[in-house]
Amino acid sequence: MPCTADDIDGLARDVRGTFQNLRGFADRLHADSGISAAMRAVLEHLRQAGPQTVPAIAAAKSVSRQHIQGLVDQLLAAGLAERHANPAHKRSVLIALSPKGRAAFDAMRRREAESLRRIADTLDTLDVAGARTVLTRLRAALREATP
């Protein structure tokens, strides 16, 4: 049976609330690192996708280029990222993890793993798989519905 617009609205509120909880969790867990949850998200994207331009990172994250530029500036200043020449575009450099950034992100993932294992013990595998399926389908529907 198809869901209603109110169902989607409620799901969106739940996702936003969960996102805020995750951001707070990451900020508290990594408070001593000086790396915010937003900075961590850019590090994670670069770790998974490899060197990217600021506009490409912003597009992948569905946020403004200016927002990502501010985070990248912080990562560059901390030595966690570095600029590389972009053979496809002279003015838009590629941003990549520095060795320090790679090590910092990997250390963050190790720290997170312990907490995530404890959380995983409280959830059912099939429920998590179903939730992921619904969120994947919702993201696709949102992309298609966006003018």
Per-domain residue ranges for the chain? 5-145
Q: Is the predicted pLDDT of residue 147 greater than 80, yes or no? A: no
CATH topology of domain 5-145: Arc Repressor Mutant, subunit A (1.10.10)
b vs e for 107-123, b when ≥16 Cβ sit within 10 Å of the residue's Cβ? ebeeeeeeeeeeeeeee
Write down the mean pLDDT value for the chain. Answer: 94
Question: What's the pTM value of the predicted model, to 2 decimals?
Answer: 0.83
68, with CB counted inside 10 A (0-12, 13-18, 19+), is buried
Contact of 43 with 101, CB cutoff 8 Å: yes
37-52 tens-digit pLDDT: 999 999 999 999 999 9
81-119 tens-digit pLDDT: 999 999 888 788 999 999 999 999 999 999 999 999 999
Contact of 95 with 107, CB cutoff 8 Å: no
pLDDT at 89: 82
pLDDT at 11: 95
In order, the DSSP letters of 100-117 are HHHHHHHHHHHHHHHHHH
pLDDT at 88: 86
Rounded Cα distance, 147 and 143, in Å: 9
71-83 tens-digit pLDDT: 999 999 999 999 9
